[in-house]
């Protein structure tokens, strides 16, 4: 299941969503996540992605989890356009500060498990500026390497930053327009789709999308990355760490007296995300039709957003007799 093929198989403007998870550290965490993924798969994500620790720090956890998912494909109830589909998986892979053998092993094992998609990333800033630490300096080097080693076996995605990429604490580095030259390099090297950094300012995303169409590619699939608002603290921290601005009107929806009320915050957050999705889809006239959720391995907020959003809830698996809550998915 290649993301490129899945994107081509659905009609233009057909909305879809995808989900990002990270590999838990403990056995019980893994089993909880697999159960959560089984339930979330009923929302029919077009694909799911699994993060990779910078420098290969989660190599065995990421690959081990992918192997479990691939071996248990039947446990995930994905209801695709043409009925049942297996869960389509994508492995994140970073390339800096990493020996070539680690990258080679990751790609070989992904192929062995039947994973057909790689999100090719740079990872942390290279330790040395001359590119001698590890074999790669930028994500484009990894895209080229995968193409060279594997041809079209993998569908490749790359990252982009609607407010500009930033390596350190200094947001003045962010220059979205300058980054576009390098985004184009990644697409020209063979990337099939783009997933963006999380953002909350739809206007900024729309400006970014328009510029990508003009300067990078008129047709590449741009999938905005959205982080559901689970708690006010997480919302703030995620925005800060990702150098994403929060529009004043959005912040004003969380007056101080509700900031510690997680249920209320989540409820407002669901409405905000739904409005963002609808605005992006409408204002791009369906050119942007896919939405990638950074789940943080949490289930409730993302499930509610998808269930409440008329653009995204059309493929939700409808249990024949039991309600979604009562359903007993396969247990890991």
**Which residues bind to ligand FAD, rule: CB under 6 A?**
51-52, 54, 92, 94, 119, 121-123, 138-140, 159, 165, 167, 179, 182, 195, 197, 225
Closest CA to 124 of 184, 52, 76: 52
Q: How far is the CB of 283 from ligand FAD (least distance, A)?
A: 22
State which residue, 41 or 94, has the beta carbon closest to ligand FAD.
Answer: 94
The dihedral through the CA atoms of 161, 167, 170, 173 has a sign that is negative
Three-class SS state of 5: helix
CA distance linking residue 127 with residue 137, whole number of Å: 9
State which residue, 199 or 281, has the beta carbon closest to ligand FAD.
Answer: 199
Q: At what angle do helices 27-40 and 300-308 cross, to 10 degrees?
A: 10
Q: How far is the CB of 322 from ligand FAD (least distance, A)?
A: 35
- Where in the chain does DSSP place strands (E)? 16-21, 47-50, 78-80, 83-85, 89-94, 117-121, 155-160, 193-198, 221-226, 290-294
Active-site position among 20, 163, 209, 299: 20
Q: How far is the CB of 84 from ligand FAD (least distance, A)?
A: 28
* 20 has catalytic annotation: yes
Dihedrals φ, ψ of 118, to 5°? -130, 130
Q: How far is the CB of 38 from ligand FAD (least distance, A)?
A: 22
Three-class SS state of 79: strand
Closest CA to 146 of 196, 97, 91: 91
State which residue, 19 or 140, has the beta carbon closest to ligand FAD.
Answer: 140
CA distance linking residue 323 with residue 111, whole number of Å: 37
State which residue, 52 or 254, has the beta carbon closest to ligand FAD.
Answer: 52
Could you tell me the two tokens for 74? 């039947």
Give the dihedral of Cα atoms 81, 314, 51, 295; nearest 10 deg: -170
Rg of the chain on CA atoms, in Å: 19
Give the dihedral of Cα atoms 181, 186, 188, 192; nearest 10 deg: -130
State which residue, 42 or 140, has the beta carbon closest to ligand FAD.
Answer: 140
State which residue, 150 or 182, has the beta carbon closest to ligand FAD.
Answer: 182
Q: In sequence order, what DSSP letters do the residues of 232-284 get, joined into one string?
A: HHHHHHHHHHTT----HHHHTTS-GGGTT-HHHHHHHHHHHHHHHHHHHHHHT
Burial of 286 (0-12, 13-18, 19+ CB in 10 A): middle
Three-class SS state of 311: coil
Q: How far is the CB of 223 from ligand FAD (least distance, A)?
A: 9
State which residue, 133 or 261, has the beta carbon closest to ligand FAD.
Answer: 133
Residues belonging to the active site: 20
């Amino acid at each position: 299941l290649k993301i490129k093929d899945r994107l081509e198989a659905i009609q233009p403007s057909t909305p879809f969503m995808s989900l990002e998870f990270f590999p838990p550290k403990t056995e019980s965490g893994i089993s909880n996540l697999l159960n959560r993924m089984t339930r979330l798969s009923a929302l029919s994500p077009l694909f799911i992605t699994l993060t990779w620790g910078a420098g290969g720090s989660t190599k065995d956890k990421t690959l081990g989890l992918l192997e479990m998912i691939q071996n248990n494909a039947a446990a995930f109830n994905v209801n695709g356009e043409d009925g049942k589909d297996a869960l389509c998986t994508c492995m994140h892979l970073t390339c800096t500060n990493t020996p070539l053998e680690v990258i080679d092993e990751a790609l070989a094992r992904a192929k062995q498990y039947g994973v057909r998609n790689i999100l090719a990333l740079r990872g942390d800033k290279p330790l040395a500026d001359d590119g001698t630490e590890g074999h790669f300096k930028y994500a484009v080097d990894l895209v080229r390497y995968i193409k060279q080693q594997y041809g079209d076996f993998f569908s490749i995605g790359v990252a982009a930053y609607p407010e500009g990429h930033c390596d350190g604490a200094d947001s003045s580095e962010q220059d979205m327009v300058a980054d576009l030259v390098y985004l184009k390099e990644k697409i020209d090297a063979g990337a099939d789709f783009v997933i963006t950094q999380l953002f909350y300012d739809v206007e900024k995303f729309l400006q970014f999308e328009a510029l990508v169409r003009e300067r990078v590619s008129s047709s590449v699939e741009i999938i905005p990355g959205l982080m559901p608002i689970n708690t006010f603290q997480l919302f703030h921290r995620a925005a800060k760490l990702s150098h994403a601005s929060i529009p004043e009107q959005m912040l004003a929806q969380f007056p101080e007296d509700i900031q510690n009320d997680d249920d209320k915050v989540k409820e407002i957050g669901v409405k905000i995300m739904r409005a963002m999705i609808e605005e992006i889809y409408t204002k791009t006239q369906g050119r942007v039709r896919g939405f990638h959720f950074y789940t943080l391995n949490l289930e409730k907020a993302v499930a509610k957003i998808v269930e409440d959003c008329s653009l995204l809830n059309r493929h939700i698996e409808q249990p024949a007799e039991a309600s979604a809550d009562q359903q007993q998915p396969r247990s890991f």
